[in-house]
Amino acid sequence: MDQITFHYDTVLSDVHLLLPNSRHLMARLNRVGQPVFISRFRILWDGAKQHTCDLGSPCGGEELDRDTQEESGRGDARGSETGADAGADGGEDGGEDRGADRGVEPPLDEDGDLEVPRRSVISHLHISHHSYSSAFLLADLILSQPTTFRGATVLELGAGTGLTSVVMATVAKTVYCTDVGEDLLSMCQKNVTLNRHLMEPAGGEVRVRLLDWLRHDLCTDADAEFGWTEDEVADLHDNTTIIIAADVCYDDDLTDALFRTLYRICNNLRLPCTTYLSIEKRLNFTLRHLDISCEAYDHFRHCLCEMQELKDGRTCFTVEQVKPSFPQCLLYERIEQLELWKVTAVPV
């Protein structure tokens, strides 16, 4: 770390904060001009007074040391006020006496470790049940350029809640809103029904259908609730000119499946097709690189390059990034990590 060049603000992970010399690391980063953002969490027992601090503010090395001393001093003062048995220095004996006086038993797991309440974590199984900023970015494109999509037949891959399909149906003729999982598709169908009044003036229609990227064919089972009819499959192949997908590249295997599906569908279309892919570049500290990186985004870009370089004699793919210079119509934070890509497929 003798010569350091910073391009982004540094957020220290548990790997950094649990190191014995973590405070020296933060102080050194501040001395060379790199702001470090640290969030402080305190476990509050029953009856304890909550002390707040300015979360998310950059703290210099000297400020960090001073804050620690002040926090220790406040702890000592609280320890001296609890009773005669508490040590004036706020030591461990005093802390145990304070806990015993209140009769509070800390929550422990079966191994004796402290259990800390945490917010629920969104797993990959529930990612599609949420709308993300990249979907809003794609919706902004549709709302700001309605002539591009007016009267079109559109296919959305990985539709999730169906937000972008509903927005698209305000200008397009037919939108095939696709994803996997009956619970997700049922939720999507409900959202489409609740927002039907937005699509009726333009005569647009959203059809919620099952499309599994890991399968090579469409589900045409008549007994399947969200299966395709033969007429719909023919309409998809004969009339589709737009494909959209938002925030669908977070797992490398699924990203590969997405691009295989995209290639297969484009090769079966009768007309040239334009695909819009919206993605958020999520930066994370990874143990593999011991640095801030975005592996899912890097793999996405790799797949884009492979598609553009593909020469199969059937379809020619061109890839370009779309600058988000169009107006913002929806309420969200349009950060620089949000990107929009355009893939044009033309039969050879």
Q: Where are the domains of the chain?
A: 10-102, 126-347
Six-digit token pair at 97? 């006496």
Q: DSSP for 186-240?
A: HHHHHHHHHTHHHHGGGT-EEEEEE--TTSSS----TTSTTPPPHHHHHHHHHHE
Six-digit token pair at 324? 């988000």
Please, are residues 247 and 134 in contact by the beta-carbon 8 Å criterion? yes
- The pLDDT of residue 35 is 59
Q: How confident is the model at residue 131 (pLDDT cuts 50, 70, 90)?
A: low
- The pLDDT of residue 55 is 39
- The pLDDT of residue 53 is 42
**Residue 347 confidence (pLDDT) above 50:** yes
Question: 177-206 pLDDT, tens per residue?
Answer: 999 999 999 999 999 999 999 999 999 999
Q: Which of 2-6, 237-241, 281-285 has the lowest mean pLDDT?
A: 2-6
CB atoms within 10 A of CB 63: 13
Taking the C-alpha atoms of residue 154 and residue 138, their distance in angstroms, rounded to an integer, is: 14
What is the chain's mean pLDDT, rounded?
78
| Residue 141, CA distances (Å) to 138, 167, 248 in order | 5, 10, 17
- The pLDDT of residue 88 is 42
- The pLDDT of residue 65 is 43
Taking the C-alpha atoms of residue 260 and residue 266, their distance in angstroms, rounded to an integer, is: 10
| Residue 309, CA distances (Å) to 19, 215, 285 in order | 45, 24, 31
Q: DSSP for 126-188?
A: GGGGS--HHHHHHHHHHHH-HHHHTT-EEEESS-TTSHHHHHHTTT-SEEEEEES-HHHHHHH
Angle at which helix 22-31 crosses helix 61-81, to 10 degrees, equals: 140
Question: 283-293 pLDDT, tens per residue?
Answer: 877 777 778 88
**Residue 322: its H or E element:** strand 315-322
| Straight-line distance from the first to the last Cα atom of the chain, in angstroms, rounded to the nearest whole number | 53
- The pLDDT of residue 285 is 77
Please, are residues 258 and 157 in contact by the beta-carbon 8 Å criterion? yes
pTM of full prediction above 0.75: no
Please, are residues 140 and 329 in contact by the beta-carbon 8 Å criterion? yes
Torsion of CA 317, 318, 324, 330, to 10 degrees: -20
Average pLDDT on 161-169 reads 96
Q: Which of 34-38, 107-111, 325-329, 343-347 has the lowest mean pLDDT?
A: 34-38
Taking the C-alpha atoms of residue 246 and residue 258, their distance in angstroms, rounded to an integer, is: 12
- The pLDDT of residue 118 is 58
Considering only CA atoms, which of 36, 34, 33 is closest in space to residue 23?
36
- The pLDDT of residue 108 is 76
- CATH classification of 126-347, choosing from 3.40.50.150, 3.10.100.10, 3.50.50.60, 2.70.98.60? 3.40.50.150
Please, are residues 247 and 214 in contact by the beta-carbon 8 Å criterion? no
Q: Which of 84-98, 167-181, 196-210 has the lowest mean pLDDT?
A: 84-98
- The pLDDT of residue 207 is 98
In this structure, what are the phi and psi dihedrals at residue 33, rounded to the nearest 5 degrees?
95, 10
